[in-house]
């Protein structure tokens, strides 16, 4: 077996052969752990960056924090500002069902009948006592609203001034229910019920109940006003004074009334202009205004130097301006028309 010394060195050599693999294995394990720790550190940093948080604090996170802050700033900038209160500058005026039948833009027809407010009867004036000298009246008892005769005077005065005839006569203004029913019955007896329905509104369905309508007559021709020849000026310019020719042949399918070249209705400026510009009858205009509700886009229109703003309100709670000039008219259907002078 050799000497003791040989045996001792022999064991040492044997031990070195046994420890070397362990040292190698330990180094491999240490290296692997180091790689694993390094990899975990990178993954953690990536995870924090991917989170997109503006308060990342790991190494290199300063840039990430800055970018995150910029993203938050962009997000804040894209946030829409608080919408303006639609009632700013307006107050609500509570109306009544009766109010819906009051105003220049009321629609009156056999479908939408009308009851003349008792309080308004005192406002009617005698036409003969208030008309100008540019025309005549067939009766001394014809009644009409002041606003109608005022603008009728202006229109026929200007007609005469530009060379028109002096033979125009007003043959009808305000009518009671009883008077209108008598006209209808007499026409039906003479010409048949269908003719009466086409040419004579039934009681409650006549614009003459309102005090805003007049029928014109030509003394020279001995017949109702036809709006041709020298009289065409009135038909062509009536809207400049707030009047419209109410019943035309092309609109009969809508109005359900035959053409009447002599029947003029006062609706006021700028509404008369808008009706003529768009070739509307009054029924179509009332429907058209529903496109301009208070909480939506309003209709604007300019006549001369005066700008107008118009909107429609359904129901009885009507927003109106807190200041300035405006009018509120019922439409005699379902709501109100507000007209503001800007």
pLDDT given for residue 26 in this prediction = 53
Last residue of a domain, one of 288, 311, 331: 288
pTM: 0.76
Same domain, 147 and 257: yes
Q: Report whether 330 contacts 336 (CB < 8 A).
A: yes
Sign of CA dihedral 139, 141, 147, 148: negative
Lowest mean pLDDT among 115-124, 148-157, 257-266: 115-124
Bridge partners of residue 224, in order along the sequence? 217
Both 161 and 227 in one domain: the answer is yes
- Per-residue pLDDT band at 80 (split at 50, 70, 90): low
In this structure, of 11-25, 71-85, 179-193, the range with the lowest mean pLDDT score is 11-25
- Whether 159 is in a domain gets the answer yes
Q: Is residue 178 part of a domain?
A: yes
Residues 283, 173: one domain? yes
Q: What confidence category does residue 37 fall into, taking pLDDT thresholds of 50, 70 and 90?
A: low
The yes-or-no answer on residue 309 being catalytic is no
pLDDT at residue 121, as a whole number: 83
Range of the domain at 110: 106-288
pLDDT of residue 150: 98
Identify the CATH number of the domain in which residue 258 sits: 3.30.1380.10
Residue 35 pLDDT: 57
Q: What long-range pairs does 80-86 form, CB within 8 A, spacing at least 24? A: 86/294, 86/295
Question: In this predicted model, what pLDDT tens digit does every residue of 239-253 receive, in sequence order?
Answer: 999 999 999 999 999
pLDDT bucket at 107, cuts 50 / 70 / 90: very high
**CA–CA separation, 95 and 179 (whole Å):** 30
44 pLDDT more than 80: no
For residue 172, being part of any structural domain is answered with: yes
**Same domain assignment for residues 35 and 174:** no
- Diameter over CA atoms, the chain: 164
- Is 178 found in the same domain as 38? no
Q: What are phi and psi of 340, to 5 degrees?
A: -110, 135
In this structure, is residue 146 part of a structural domain?
Answer: yes
Work out how many domains the chain is built from and give that number: 2
- pLDDT at site 167: 95
Q: Are residues 118 and 31 in the same domain?
A: no
Q: Where are the alpha helices (DSSP H) in 126-192?
A: 127-130, 146-161, 177-191
pLDDT digits (tens, 9 = 90+) for 288-342: 999 999 999 999 999 999 999 999 999 999 999 999 999 999 999 999 999 999 9
Q: Distance between CA 198 and CA 4 in Å, rounded?
A: 145
Active-site residue among 65, 252, 260, 314? 260
Task: Examine the domain organization and report whether 110 and 231 are in the same domain.
Answer: yes
For residues 58 and 220, give the distance between their C-alpha atoms in angstroms, rounded to a whole number.
103
- Residue 318 within any structural domain of the chain: no
Q: 70 and 126 in one domain?
A: no
How far is the C-alpha of 338 from the C-alpha of 328, rounded, in Å?
A: 5
Residue 3 has pLDDT above 60, yes or no: no
Assigned domain for 52 exists: yes
293 within domain boundaries? no
Per residue in 132-156, pLDDT (tens digit) is 999 999 999 999 999 999 999 999 9
Q: State the chain's mean pLDDT as an integer.
A: 83
Whether 233 and 178 map to the same domain: the answer is yes
**Domain shared by 71 and 119, yes or no:** no
Q: Residue 138: what are its φ and ψ, rounded to 5°?
A: -75, -25
163-193: pLDDT as tens digits: 999 999 999 999 999 999 999 999 999 999 9
**More reliable by pLDDT, 106 or 39:** 106
Classify strands 299-303 and 306-314 as parallel, antiparallel or unpaired: antiparallel
* 298 within some domain: no
Interval 49-67: pLDDT, tens: 343 333 333 333 333 334 4
Same domain, residue pair 137 and 71: no
- My answer on whether 215 and 113 are in the same domain is yes
């Amino acid at each position: 077996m050799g000497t003791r010394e040989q045996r001792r060195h022999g064991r040492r050599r044997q031990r070195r052969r046994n420890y070397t693999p362990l040292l190698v294995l330990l180094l491999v394990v240490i290296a692997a752990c180091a790689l694993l720790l390094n990899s975990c550190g990178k993954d953690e940093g990536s995870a924090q960056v991917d989170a997109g948080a503006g308060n990342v604090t790991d190494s290199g996170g300063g840039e990430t924090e800055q970018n995150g802050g910029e993203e938050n700033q962009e997000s804040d900038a894209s946030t829409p500002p608080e919408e303006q209160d639609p009632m700013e500058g307006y107050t609500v005026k509570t109306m009544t069902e009766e109010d819906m039948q009051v105003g220049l833009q009321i629609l009156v027809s056999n479908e939408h009948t009308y009851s003349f407010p008792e309080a308004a009867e005192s406002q009617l004036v005698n036409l003969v006592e208030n008309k100008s000298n540019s025309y005549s009246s067939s009766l001394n008892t014809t009644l009409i609203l002041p606003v109608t005769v005022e603008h009728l005077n202006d229109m026929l005065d200007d007609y005469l001034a530009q060379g028109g005839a002096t033979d125009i006569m007003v043959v009808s203004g305000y009518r009671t229910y009883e008077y209108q029913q008598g006209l209808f019955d007499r026409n039906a007896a003479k010409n048949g019920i269908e003719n009466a329905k086409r040419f004579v509104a039934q009681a409650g369905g006549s614009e003459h109940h309102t005090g805003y309508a007049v029928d014109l007559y030509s003394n020279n021709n001995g017949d109702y006003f036809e709006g041709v020849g020298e009289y065409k000026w009135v038909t062509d310019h009536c809207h400049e004074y707030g009047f419209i020719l109410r019943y035309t042949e092309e609109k009969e399918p809508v109005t359900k009334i035959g053409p009447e070249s002599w029947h003029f209705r006062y609706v006021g400026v700028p509404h008369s202009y808008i009706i003529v510009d768009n070739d509307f009858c009054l029924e179509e205009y009332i429907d058209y205004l529903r496109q301009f509700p208070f909480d939506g886009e309003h209709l604007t229109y300019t006549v001369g130097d005066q700008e107008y703003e118009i909107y429609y309100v359904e129901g009885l709670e009507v927003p109106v301006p807190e200041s300035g000039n405006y009018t509120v008219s019922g439409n005699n259907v379902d709501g109100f028309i507000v007209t503001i002078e800007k």
